[in-house]
Amino acid sequence: MEKNSVDLSSSFLVVRHENGGLWDLFKFMVFDNLESGGKFLESSNCGGVVVGEEVWEWEGGGEVTSDHRWVIVVSIIVRKIIKVLGKPMEWFGYFVEFFLNLLSLNGNFLGLLNKILHGNVEMPKRDSETFISAIGHLDGRVDLFKIETLSENTKEHDFEKVQMGNRCLMDLCMMASKLAYENAKVVRNVVDFHWKMHFVDFYNCWNDYQKERATQVFIMCDKPKNANLIMICFRGTEPFDADDWITDFDYSWYEIPKLGKVHMGFLEALGLGNRANTSTFQNHLQAKNVEPTNLNGESSRSTDKEPFPVMGEMTAYYAVRRKLRNLLKEHTNAKFVVTGHSLGGALAILFPTVLVLHEEKEVMKRLLGIYTYGQPRVGNRQLGRFMEAHLENPVSKYFRVVYCNDLVPRLPYDNKTFLYKHFGVCLYYNSLYIEQNVDEEPNPNYFGYRFLIPEYLNAMWELVRSLTMRYMYGPGYKECWESFMLRMVGLAIPGLADHSPVDYVNSVRLGRTRSVEMISL
């Protein structure tokens, strides 16, 4: 891979897992060998790690410690393993989804056996209205949450006076985040016919670094005319997509002057640059290079032409921004919400971040809020302070929901001097679905030794609990066999099963002792 031509006006760090071998990693970790480390680390020479014969420095100054090297080495090893398993993961995912859909279409195991004997098996068709993702099979719930304050005759949610902290809004965001894992036909069917709302569009967007359409997002409104709510929902980490998991474990960053350091892989997923040529990030992110525009997309000096990296290819940020402007112009009373689970949560907070950077003031005035679920860290403390100034007044607009020992919100690694920091209001739910309003979830780095035994004990409890949910809370909370199998895997890797949407939906619907006031619709 070609080396970057260093852009002296910006600071960046690229951690390349594909370069070097295990011996280089060993020399870098144990002996602090600069030559070996330089095979994996590529950086600017201002404000970040310096590769070569100079001293490597981190955000707060000072040399790279053994703790920092250990984190980088672990990240590289994990990404190398995931990369090797990439194709097997993809093939296994195709088989799993085909098998799950084969069962669901034919009445599960006994129904399938009966149809095989009679020769009338219904075969799954990918991208059809009936083909459900693996995530959808983990939690088959489709209908939105109904609370007692709603009239029994009410057939649809009324978002005319919607406010952040509304339980129905939280549930809609989580259910939409779960729905984002499905194909466009399934999304349209659920939004239009189950939720009685209005499906706007589904985008399959280009990632110029991965050279494929790897970012998915859909947009919906609460009703087709005179809408009060516009929702933008990004798809999260797909369980059998190696590139998604490699992005989650990536430590590469790009520094935006006056804003802070931002996770490079998430910027690439939004279509805002390519690490193969880091100057592309500057082209997309420098506010001085962006013409302020109104909701009509008009500028006093130029037309609003979106800088797609590849001719004819949509990128997520520009495609969504263009559509959002049009929707806000069409629905004059509407406000918009951005949401997502996992990787989708990271993109959900970065999208309004770049809107602020690009001085989209008229658009940002219409932001109701952001809800993310199981979201990884997206940047450093400076980025957090910058966005909190725009999202905390007069009320909080950004809520980061974390369930128990979920591994992904603990990524990328963070300690007292390391780069990545969470920000915003954290709504933390334990395994009893009790909510706490905290600055940071317990055991923020997952690998704490004193949390190890409690994590395994909790995984055992969650496995047992999955068998009793229907008796404790009703038939709507019965867990399927697919979810039970994932919890079995969670006995070996505590925190993996906690990332499933099942517990996030349950947290919203069953959560107690809420710190955010719930306002009835």
What is the spatial distance between Cα 184 and Cα 397, in angstroms, rounded to a whole number? Answer: 28
Q: Catalytic: 499?
A: yes
Structure tokens at 231: 């929702």
Separation CA 516–CA 513 (nearest Å): 9
Residues found in the chain: 521
Backbone angles phi, psi at 179, to 5 degrees: -65, -25
341 is catalytic: no
The catalytic residue among 342, 483, 500, 507 is 342
Instruction: List the alpha helices (DSSP H) in 234-300.
Output: 242-248, 264-269, 279-285
Question: Which amino acid is present at 255?
Answer: E
Classify 216 as helix, strand or coil. strand
Contact 325, 232 (CB under 8 A): no
Exposure class string for 327-343: b at 16+ Cβ within 10 A, else e: bbeebeebbbbbbbbbb
Rounded to whole angstroms, how far apart are CA atoms 380 and 174?
A: 26
State the burial class of residue 181 (Cβ atoms within 10 Å of its Cβ: 0-12, 13-18, 19+): buried
CA distances from 234 to 106, 174, 194, 238, 270 (A): 31, 11, 20, 12, 10
3-state DSSP assignment of residue 266: helix
Q: Which residue has the tokens 């190696």?
A: 242
Instruction: Count Cα neighbours of 367 within 13 Å in the Cβ-side half-sphere.
Output: 28
Q: Please list the residues that pair with 277 across neighbouring strands.
A: 274
Q: Which entry of 243, 406, 414, 498 is annotated as an active-site residue?
A: 406
Q: Show Cβ contacts of residue 368 under 8 Å, excluding neighbours closer than 6 positions.
A: 162, 163, 164, 229, 335, 336, 337, 397
Phi-psi region of 406 (alpha: psi -120 to 50; beta: other; left: phi over 0): beta
Round to whole Å and give the CA distance between 285 and 272. 7
φ, ψ at 333 (rounded to 5°): -100, 0
Q: Give Cα 361 distance to the centre of its chain.
A: 25
Has 342 been annotated as catalytic? Answer: yes
Q: Assign residue 424 a region (left: φ > 0; alpha: ψ between -120 and 50; beta: otherwise).
A: left
467-486 as b/e: b if 16+ CB within 10 A: eebeeeeeeebbbeebbeeb
What torsion, rounded to 10 degrees, do the Cα atoms 473, 475, 477, 481 define?
130
Distance from the first to the final alpha carbon of the chain:
55
Q: Which of 499, 500, 503, 507 is catalytic?
A: 499
- Would you please indicate which residues are annotated as catalytic (active-site) residues? 342, 406, 499
